[in-house]
Amino acid sequence: MKIVAVVAQKGGVGKTTVSQCLAVEALRQGIPTAMIDADPQRSAAEWGEQRQASDIDAPDVIPLGSKSLATVVADLRKRGAAFVVIDTPPHSAPAINAALDVSTGAVMVTRPNPMDVRALEATWRIVEKMKKPAAAIFTQTPPGTRARALVLAKVRLGELGIPNCPTPLTYTLSFPYAQAEALAVQEREPTSKARAEIAEVWSWLRRAEIC
């Protein structure tokens, strides 16, 4: 079973959105998939509840609550899950460590601006110690892969030796619109640029043996 911890020390970078998109992409590939919402804000869990209420297919989203991650993961394994995404809370090194303890890989999420990249450095210091496959994904990026902010951020990650996916997720209102309908962007807009970017990110993470 693949277990991917989606992590970021900084809030607002799109961590839950990435978690949702990865879970839905795995599901669309025919992989039995579940999400664990370890964030007390319960954004992913509420999204999952909206999907259930609207009779939208899995993934199941399990709020962690007071349970241990090891217990929830063991239960999902018994239920036949082959791919699990853990949406972690920001600003919590202990929660990130706990997720990394049970995971087989990690996806770090950041926007391409100096404050977020500095926060990513702190996240990387935690992830690197776990010695598991990991990479960063840039979200909410300006259009075009040559946008200066993105170029500078990629250079900085290169200097730090932080692996990162070559395909950024461009800023678009498609993501919040999809969430408002309890969908992932690839479900709401299956022919969009956003959907193509998610597919490229998924394929890259699979090749990197993170997902």
pLDDT of residue 145: 61
Q: SS3 for 7?
A: strand
CA torsion through residues 189, 191, 197, 198, sign: positive
pLDDT of residue 146: 64
3-state secondary structure 84-146: EEEECCCCCHHHHHHHHHHCCEEEEEECCCHHHHHHHHHHHHHHHHHCCCEEEEECCECCCCC
Write out the chain's pLDDT in tens, 211 residues.
999 999 998 888 999 999 999 999 999 999 999 999 999 999 999 999 999 999 988 789 999 988 899 999 999 999 999 999 999 998 888 889 999 999 999 999 999 999 999 999 999 999 999 889 999 999 999 886 668 889 999 999 999 999 999 999 999 999 999 999 999 999 999 999 999 999 999 999 999 999 9
Cα 47 to Cα 23, 55, 166, distances in angstroms? 12, 12, 28
CA-CA distance, 133 to 52, in Å (whole number)? 32
- For the entire predicted model, the pTM comes to 0.94
Close Cβ partners of 129 (under 8 Å, ≥ 6 residues apart): none
DSSP 14: S
Q: Which residues pair with 5 in a beta bridge?
A: 86, 106
Residue 34 CA from chain centroid, whole number: 13
pLDDT of residue 153: 92
